[in-house]
Amino acid sequence: MKKDTCIFCKIANGEIPSRTVYEDADFRAILDLGPATKGHTLILPKEHAEDLYELPEEVAARVLPVAKKVAGLLKERLGCDGMNLVQNNGETAGQTVKHFHLHLIPRYVGDGQSILWKPTEPSAEELDGVWSALK
């Protein structure tokens, strides 16, 4: 289902033009308007889902094969040196558009971007506490 108020629904379904680099029946991959690096691409499902939690399993199962295809295209045509896949869920995690999307961010030696986290140093007890909540 599309959501009338969702800009990525409109882009994914071709109602708003975009710089499409890949399209199939279920997905559209577009150039990001505020790219972190040259070729920064967003993979959008055509069906509306706010985030990973809402994404239907069958759509989730197809996202990575599409990402692999588009990543290969970006590497081949743009000659990037690396590739980050980023997917934000919730404002705390940096999600600004509430329609699931996967970022493909080509990386170039010396591009000045940083998509890394600061490692922390939890104790064994703290790690065990997290582990017991999850197992």
Residues recognised as catalytic? 101
Is the CA virtual torsion 115, 30, 39, 36 positive or negative? negative
Q: Binding to Zn ion by residue 101, rule CB under 5 A?
A: no
Q: Binding to ligand 5GP by residue 41, rule CB under 6 A?
A: no
**3-state SS, one letter per residue, for 20-39:** EEEECCCEEEEECCCCCCCC
Q: Give residues 38-57 in contact with Zn ion (rule: CB under 5 A).
A: 48
Q: Angle at CA 37, nearest 5°, toward 6 and 100?
A: 25
> For residues 30 and 74, which CB has a smaller minimum distance to ligand 5GP in the complex?
30
Q: Binding to Zn ion by residue 9, rule CB under 5 A?
A: yes
- Out of 50, 88, 108, 113, point to the residue binding ligand 5GP (CB under 6 A): 88
